[in-house]
A and B are shown apart, each in its own frame.
Chain A
Amino acid sequence: MSTTTASGGGPLAALIRYYDRLREDSKSGIAEYGFSQEKVHFAIVLETDGSFVALEDVRETNEKGKPIFRPLIVPDGGGRSGTSVQPNFCWDNTGYALGRDNKGKPARSKELFEAFRDLHLSFRDELEGDKGFAAVCSFLEAWKPAQAEKLPNWEDAAGMNVVFKLRGKPGYVHQSAVVRKAWLKRATTSKADAVEEKDNEPPQRGFSLISGQVDELARLHPLIGGVAGANTMGAAIVSFNLDAFESYGKSQSYNAPVSVQEAFRYTTALNRLLSDDSHRERIGDATVVFWTDSPAAEETCLWFKSLLAGAPQATEDAQTVDQLRNFLQATRDGRLSDVSDPQAPFYILGLSPNASRLNVRFWLVATVQQFVDRLLRHDRELEIVGREGEPPLSIRRILWETAREPKDIPPQLAGEVARSIFGGWPYPQFLFNAIVRRIRADSELNPRRAAVIKAFLIRNSQLEVPVSLDPQHTDQAYQLGRLFAALEKTQEDSTDGKLNATIKDRYFSAAGATPASVFPLLLKLHRHHLAKLDPPGRRINREKLMTEIMSNIRHFPAFMSLEKQGLFYIAYYHQRQEFFTKKETTSQETNNE
């Protein structure tokens, strides 16, 4: 905490820093202003004179061997809505580029093609020197849409996005520096014109609250896609879609002055994070993205992901778990710098949908080291006997223990749990209440539930809770939990487990909440159970254990607080585990003999 933390300015500023980092990395392939990444399937190959050569399949293949789109940076068309005719520059679907698609409306396709052709011809003089673009223009002038259907691979290509290229030349037409420059010039001026025409409002210049520079301000921000549950068209973090949100006589996003360039940069960076499986995960109703300012800390993202959601797929399991183990081991040994850049800022942004708007559910900034420390602390608090060798408890698994089925988990809870773990803050009280309620409802105390209760008691109530059985534990609640486990075990043993309803089914929750009203009865029952226990050696052992536990109990409280009930459950769980491990060792011994 003594070092300088350079992290301020909120999520937008951090996203812009991420964009700038990717821009510097030539391999990242992030789009520049005026361009966007789109899904391209085919390329129209032309001769220099514009004659058509072929429709080349440029698709990639996925793991299953199926062809999928190739992501390419192309001139940004700004998105189309409804039935408007709005061609893209140097790329589009075949309806625009070739005048035919798979929608069966030739008249409409013809209209689209003409718009596409006219747009390109309007650039003709400006781009005379560019061979590729000249070829595209000649091609568009000569092309008859009906020819499209005769192409050999038309079935596959109909309706898909296409780009243009020259035969035998590397790269695509839109990638030429001259074409890019001409497009950018047009894009910036025409956008300003469009705004002016539509609203009679010239583009405003002003202070941008992210950079602190005076610049042209964005009236509307580009949409963000890929947040689960939001509009499929995309939604916005910064949007003023109702007039009650506006103030001081300002309209739309002028209420939140952000420059056009910055709006582009943060949305591009965020869209990229949201579409990248290694930087995104879902917790409850929130879609969480995480990233770092340092390329050296990239691996931390993987680690994060597996802690959020558990191992992704069975096939990747072994590898991910291995990576995770290495990472964990390195951090435990204090060798975090071997695998990562410990001082690099790390960001966690949780977005949840609210109709066409997005809501920042949580936003956390710290260094990689700080987050790793918090996660390790959480992991340590969860440590409990009986979970050895199992993968780390992901947030998703924890949440599953709070409800009967995943859809019953309150969406708010997921975010709060994530926030408490990442921030190193107390766990939400509701998490504890929900788990205790589940235990009461189904009398099931599995290792995961015990682990969560333990972590909660340690972090929120500062109670001392051991990992495994501590017979000397001074708390009454703890000894009562042990006592209950012992009573139940005697009943089980005396009846060979052939009971419909055990004392646990009947009295478990009552014993934890109001011990005074239950234990005297249970102790009376116990005498009967004990009498039936044979051989006598077992009976003596059990009596010894009972005496030991009872010697630690001074009285049965009439009522126990929720916290103490938690401790009661943990003790019960510990004692049960103890019985099991003992049994295993003895049976092993007999096998060896």
Chain B
Amino acid sequence: MAKGIRLHVWAEYALFSRPEMKVERVSYDVITPSAARGVIEAIHWKPAIRWRINRIHVLNEIRFTSLRRNEVASKIPRANVAKAMKAGRGALAQFIEEDRQQRAATILRDVAYVIEASFDIVDPQDHPGKHLDQFNRRARAGNCFHRPYLGTREFPCHFALIEPDEELPTSFYTKESSRDLGWMLHDIDFVADEKGGVIASHNDQRFRAEPRFFRATLKHGVIDVPALTPEEVVA
């Protein structure tokens, strides 16, 4: 497959929240496929293509640190928005000073990964070579739609394209045959559901958000990511 790309990403901090500890956040040990997809999509994405993460190389030793931040405590209720839209006026402001919550986070530091990804063409009319070239050109030049980040917006990352003939940087875990990282979030799948809590903005269609998990194993510093299909990942 010539559609594959390899991207080297690194940053001082990263936070890939475990869902069971996403209030007082605790990061997974390594980047999740959905976060990796986010990084790739920041550089190049069009509705015609769908990225899939194939492998993740963990380059640095897994290290944590912790911090506390002030965040807002509530969401503006959807009903209030609907009411204001109907009436043409209303208060939708949130005041951080009155509605503060301190949240702690245990985050990763000094991370570096190589993401191996490829993409599927959604629209059969489209040509894959065009998107591949576009991605490579943009990544090489350092262009992005928005700054890619590792897990949360507060932790932007650097990136560099690894050319096809270029060698991969060595991993801290090269000598380790196998390390079980437990069940890890693969990505969120959206399933059409009349009672679902997620609403598509353009046509009011309702979806249910279904997290999909896979068993992550680090072998010699590399995680093989299964495809997001029901046979390989569980909902």
- How distant is B199 from chain A, measured CB to nearest CB, in Å? 9
In the bound complex, what is the Cα–Cα distance between A458 and B206 (angstroms)? 59
Q: Interface code B199-234, partner A: CB below 8 Å = 1, 0 otherwise?
A: 000000000110101011000000000000000001
B74 touching A243, Cβ below 8 Å: yes
In the bound complex, what is the Cα–Cα distance between A10 and B30 (angstroms)? 12
Residues on B with C-beta less than 8 A from A249 are 196-198, 208-209
- How distant is B198 from chain A, measured CB to nearest CB, in Å? 5
- How distant is A464 from chain B, measured CB to nearest CB, in Å? 25
B182 in complex: contacting residue of A10, A214, A256, CB < 8 Å: A10
B21 touching A237, Cβ below 8 Å: yes
In the bound complex, what is the Cα–Cα distance between A29 and B49 (angstroms)? 57
Residues on A with C-beta less than 8 A from B80 are none
- Which residue of the partner chain A has the closest CB to B178? A4
In the bound complex, what is the Cα–Cα distance between A361 and B176 (angstroms)? 27
Given known pairs A249-B197, A257-B211, A423-B63, the reply for A10 and B18 (CB within 8 Å) is yes
A212 touching B24, Cβ below 8 Å: no
Residues on B with C-beta less than 8 A from A489 are none
In the bound complex, what is the Cα–Cα distance between A213 and B106 (angstroms)? 27
Residues on A with C-beta less than 8 A from B103 are 354
Given known pairs A244-B101, A257-B19, A416-B65, the reply for A8 and B179 (CB within 8 Å) is yes
Instruction: Kindly state whether residue A443 has any CB partner on chain B within 8 Å.
Output: no
- Which residue of the partner chain A has the closest CB to B61? A425
B211 touching A243, Cβ below 8 Å: no
Given known pairs A242-B74, A419-B64, the reply for A359 and B180 (CB within 8 Å) is no
In the bound complex, what is the Cα–Cα distance between A354 and B20 (angstroms)? 16
Residues on B with C-beta less than 8 A from A154 are none
A360 touching B75, Cβ below 8 Å: no
In the bound complex, what is the Cα–Cα distance between A425 and B63 (angstroms)? 8
Instruction: Kindly state whether residue B152 has any CB partner on chain A within 8 Å.
Output: no
A238 touching B197, Cβ below 8 Å: no
Q: Interface code A438-456, partner B: CB below 8 Å = 1, 0 otherwise?
A: 0000000000000000000
Q: Interface code B64-98, partner A: CB below 8 Å = 1, 0 otherwise?
A: 11101001111100000000000000000000000
Instruction: Kindly state whether residue A179 has any CB partner on chain B within 8 Å.
Output: no
- Which residue of the partner chain B has the closest CB to A361? B66
Instruction: Kindly state whether residue A62 has any CB partner on chain B within 8 Å.
Output: no
A207 in complex: contacting residue of B29, B176, B234, CB < 8 Å: B234
B73 touching A8, Cβ below 8 Å: no
- How distant is B103 from chain A, measured CB to nearest CB, in Å? 7
B197 touching A248, Cβ below 8 Å: yes
A244 touching B24, Cβ below 8 Å: no
Instruction: Kindly state whether residue B170 has any CB partner on chain A within 8 Å.
Output: no
B19 in complex: contacting residue of A8, A241, A255, CB < 8 Å: A255
- Which residue of the partner chain B has the closest CB to A360? B26
Residues on A with C-beta less than 8 A from B235 are 206-207
B183 touching A210, Cβ below 8 Å: yes
Instruction: Kindly state whether residue A358 has any CB partner on chain B within 8 Å.
Output: yes
A238 touching B20, Cβ below 8 Å: yes
- Which residue of the partner chain B has the closest CB to A241? B23
A358 touching B24, Cβ below 8 Å: yes
B20 touching A4, Cβ below 8 Å: no
Residues on B with C-beta less than 8 A from A359 are 24, 66, 104, 106
Q: Interface code B24-51, partner A: CB below 8 Å = 1, 0 otherwise?
A: 1010110000000000000000000000
Given known pairs A9-B182, A243-B75, the reply for A258 and B66 (CB within 8 Å) is no
Of residues B19, B23, B102, which shows the largest number of chain A Cβ atoms within 10 Å of its Cβ? B23
- Which residue of the partner chain B has the closest CB to A258? B20
- Interface positions, chain A 173-224, Cβ under 8 Å from B, are 206-207, 209-210, 212, 214
In the bound complex, what is the Cα–Cα distance between A1 and B208 (angstroms)? 42
- Interface positions, chain B 1-34, Cβ under 8 Å from A, are 18-24, 26, 28-29
Instruction: Kindly state whether residue B122 has any CB partner on chain A within 8 Å.
Output: no
A357 touching B24, Cβ below 8 Å: yes
A212 touching B101, Cβ below 8 Å: no
In the bound complex, what is the Cα–Cα distance between A354 and B73 (angstroms)? 14
B23 touching A240, Cβ below 8 Å: yes
- How distant is A339 from chain B, measured CB to nearest CB, in Å? 27
Instruction: Kindly state whether residue B188 has any CB partner on chain A within 8 Å.
Output: yes
Q: Interface code A280-316, partner B: CB below 8 Å = 1, 0 otherwise?
A: 0000000000000000000000000000000000000
- How distant is B24 from chain A, measured CB to nearest CB, in Å? 4
- How distant is A266 from chain B, measured CB to nearest CB, in Å? 9
- How distant is B72 from chain A, measured CB to nearest CB, in Å? 6
- Interface positions, chain A 236-263, Cβ under 8 Å from B, are 237-245, 247-250, 255-258
Residues on B with C-beta less than 8 A from A425 are 63
In the bound complex, what is the Cα–Cα distance between A207 and B233 (angstroms)? 11
In the bound complex, what is the Cα–Cα distance between A257 and B22 (angstroms)? 12
B183 touching A354, Cβ below 8 Å: no
- How distant is B66 from chain A, measured CB to nearest CB, in Å? 6
Instruction: Kindly state whether residue A352 has any CB partner on chain B within 8 Å.
Output: yes
In the bound complex, what is the Cα–Cα distance between A456 and B197 (angstroms)? 52
Instruction: Kindly state whether residue B192 has any CB partner on chain A within 8 Å.
Output: no
Instruction: Kindly state whether residue B177 has any CB partner on chain A within 8 Å.
Output: yes
A8 touching B216, Cβ below 8 Å: yes
Instruction: Kindly state whether residue A2 has any CB partner on chain B within 8 Å.
Output: yes
- How distant is A473 from chain B, measured CB to nearest CB, in Å? 32
In the bound complex, what is the Cα–Cα distance between A359 and B197 (angstroms)? 28
Q: Interface code A457-474, partner B: CB below 8 Å = 1, 0 otherwise?
A: 000000000000000000
Given known pairs A13-B182, A362-B64, the reply for A209 and B20 (CB within 8 Å) is yes
B180 touching A209, Cβ below 8 Å: no
- How distant is B205 from chain A, measured CB to nearest CB, in Å? 14
Instruction: Kindly state whether residue A172 has any CB partner on chain B within 8 Å.
Output: no
Instruction: Kindly state whether residue B175 has any CB partner on chain A within 8 Å.
Output: yes
B22 touching A245, Cβ below 8 Å: yes
In the bound complex, what is the Cα–Cα distance between A358 and B213 (angstroms)? 25
A1 touching B182, Cβ below 8 Å: no
A8 touching B213, Cβ below 8 Å: no
B20 touching A12, Cβ below 8 Å: yes
B106 touching A256, Cβ below 8 Å: no
B64 touching A363, Cβ below 8 Å: yes
B183 touching A9, Cβ below 8 Å: yes
In the bound complex, what is the Cα–Cα distance between A373 and B124 (angstroms)? 58
A212 touching B74, Cβ below 8 Å: no
Instruction: Kindly state whether residue B181 has any CB partner on chain A within 8 Å.
Output: yes
Q: Could you write out 20 A-B pairs with CB less than 8 Å apart? A: A10-B28, A206-B235, A212-B183, A212-B213, A214-B234, A240-B23, A244-B72, A244-B75, A245-B23, A249-B196, A249-B197, A249-B198, A249-B208, A250-B197, A250-B209, A352-B104, A359-B24, A360-B21, A362-B66, A419-B64
Extra 17 A-B pairs, beta carbons < 8 Å, given A8-B180, A243-B75, A249-B198: A1-B173, A1-B175, A2-B176, A4-B176, A5-B178, A7-B180, A10-B28, A207-B235, A209-B20, A239-B23, A248-B197, A256-B21, A354-B104, A362-B64, A415-B66, A416-B66, A419-B65
10 tightest Cβ-Cβ pairs between the two chains A and B: A249-B197, A9-B182, A248-B209, A359-B24, A359-B104, A256-B20, A8-B181, A8-B182, A8-B180, A256-B19
Which A residues are closer than 8 A to B by beta carbons? Answer: 1-13, 206-207, 209-210, 212, 214, 237-245, 247-250, 255-258, 352, 354, 357-363, 412, 415-416, 419, 423, 425
